[in-house]
Amino acid sequence: MPEPSGAQAPSQIAVVGLATMGQNLARNLGSRGFRVSVYNRTRARTDQMIAEHGREGAIKPAYSPQELVGQVARPRPILLMVKAGEAVDETIGHLLPALYPGDVLIDGGNSHFTDTVRRAGMVEARGIRYLGTGISGGEEGALRGPSIMPGGPADAYHLVEPILTRISAQVEGQPCCTYIGPGSAGHYVKMVHNGIEYADLQLIAEAYDLMRHALGLEAAQLAETFAGWNAGDLESYLIEITARVLAHTDRSSGQPLVDVILDQAEQKGTGKWASQSALDLGIPVTAITEAVFARFVSALKDDRTEAARVLPGPVVAAGEAEDAGTLVEDVRLALYASKIVAYAQGFEQMLAASAAFDWHLDLGAIARIWRGGCIIRARFLDRITQAYLAQPGLKNLLLAPYFRQAMARSQDAWRRVLRRSVERGVPAPAFSSALAYYDAYRRERLPANLIQGLRDYFGAHGYRRTDRDGSFHTRWAQDGEEVAT
């Protein structure tokens, strides 16, 4: 619990970087009784924050890294909330000379996990402890309680645990913050979280597109549909805000705002990083990667506008009426099934990373701390936690009884939706890649036998057989004989 505050008492923590996240986290800390010092590279931002929010708690401004460090009791926890990338290195460079061994630098931004490894090595050589910490929840989460994913030395985590667990979201009396693991485990898990968020957003967008363009439903009707879905298995923050976004009317045009928002999705890189790391680990995170690719396609607005004029699509017979009620329910089931695949893939990626980097990640605990505060918070995360509690060594969530049953319930609808999307020419890359993954994962025999045969034909790469051990090569274009290699 926080110590009693007093005007001269040293701060218990410092926050560096007072843009959206840093400012709101500092207010969160202050409002929960922690004494916090704040510093920002550009002084005006510090002054503005103090003027607007300085009375929300014991929040003290500092105007240089040295002044900031001098205000905080040792060992000093210093939370960096600056732009990911060079800004983090620069900020560390300015702070380091003033820090003492034992102090704890917490990088709460979306740093790439390999940068975290490098920075931790650099500061730890000087006795400073480094916590690469994922923080999710955006502006609102930072202020009221985010999901926090700290990684690094366990002793450093235990030092700041009372603070981080206090400012995090709480679900059923449990904090949405837990020690993730050593090294860059915290930032890695946050990266996968963001990758799953990419997949979630894309799947929701595909569901909207199918209902909007295969059924011709208007934004207001879709708002009601999503609001209804939020009362069932799909209950989540993203479904809830989808209903709100779809219901919003643009003040200037009088149209649904969503209809006048430009269809180009931007990105800051964490989804791409998640895919890149999955490729390195050999884990097929197809839903996340399709979501990243879909944003790339969306960015090609000029090309698409030109292509729309010349590339033909399917001819849809006039009067071919859709059974709206059935399709909407099918889309709901397809969305749920695809979402399960996206999470199964993301958790499989974390399992692989845990083994590769020796992190001993507790996947059930990770699902638990994502239940509140973060952007992908959802009812079904409870199911994931329960699945790992029941089977700690679970390889793939699809194999857990609850998810197996959910797939069994949804798969026919999922296939109907994709048939419709193909017939109508409405792209659904994440829905369809998720189904392709599901069908491939449940297939005992895939056509990789032919790939191996072809590789052996043109490159003498060899193959293994189903009926005996060893590696073989066939002299395909010569005498056709098979030789052991």
Smallest gap, in angstroms, from Cβ of residue 401 to ligand NBP? 34
Which of these ranges, 39-47, 148-156, 232-240, 397-405, lies near ligand NBP under the rule CB under 6 A?
A: 39-47
Q: Which of 2, 10, 32, 41 binds ligand NBP (CB under 6 A)?
A: 41
Let me know the angle formed at the C-alpha of 386 by 395 and 376, rounded to the nearest 5 degrees.
85
Q: How far is the CB of 16 from ligand NBP (least distance, A)?
A: 7
Please tell me the number of Cα atoms within 13 Å of 260 on its side-chain side. Answer: 10
The yes or no reply on residue 84 touching ligand NBP (CB under 6 A) is: yes
Query: How far from 272 is each of 91, 110, 411, 443, CA to CA, in Å?
Result: 25, 13, 28, 28
Q: Within a 13 Å sphere around the CA of 265, how many CA atoms are in the beta-carbon half? A: 16
* Closer to ligand NBP by Cβ: residue 95 or 351: 95
Nearest residue to the partner ligand NBP, using Cβ: 109
**Which tokens is 214 given?**
């295969």
Alpha helices for 125-184 (secondary structure H): 138-144, 154-167
- Cβ–Cβ < 8 Å for 433, 223: no
What is each CA distance from 70 to 60, 129, 342, in whole angstroms?
12, 18, 46
Q: Which is nearer to ligand NBP, 137 or 429 (CB)?
A: 137
Say if residues 110 and 270 touch (Cβ distance below 8 Å): yes
Identified catalytic residue from 139, 140, 161, 190: 190
Cα dihedral sign, 386-175-343-337? positive
Q: Which of 30, 57, 77, 109 binds ligand NBP (CB under 6 A)?
A: 109
Rounded least distance, CB 293 to ligand NBP, Å: 22
User: Which parts of 282-400 fold into alpha helices (H)?
Assistant: 286-299, 301-310, 324-357, 363-369, 381-390
Check 124, 172, 197, 444 and give the catalytic one: 197
Which span (81-89, 197-205, 357-365, 431-439) binds ligand NBP, by CB under 6 A? 81-89
Q: Which of 68, 79, 120, 135 binds ligand NBP (CB under 6 A)?
A: 135
Judged by CB under 6 A, the stretch of 18-26, 329-337, 360-368, 427-435 that binds ligand NBP is 18-26
User: Cβ(287)–Cβ(342) under 8 Å?
Assistant: yes
- 9, 51, 64, 90: which one binds ligand NBP (CB under 6 A): 90
Q: What whole-number distance in Å separates Cα of residue 261 and Cα of residue 239?
A: 19
Query: Near ligand NBP by CB under 6 A, which window of 35-43, 207-215, 223-231, 445-453?
Result: 35-43
Q: Any contact of residue 20 with ligand NBP (CB under 6 A)?
A: yes
Exactly one of 2, 50, 70, 83 binds ligand NBP (CB under 6 A); that residue is 83
Q: Known catalytic residues?
A: 190, 197
List contacts with ligand NBP (CB under 6 A).
Answer: 17-22, 40-42, 45, 81-84, 87, 90-91, 109-110, 135-136, 138-139
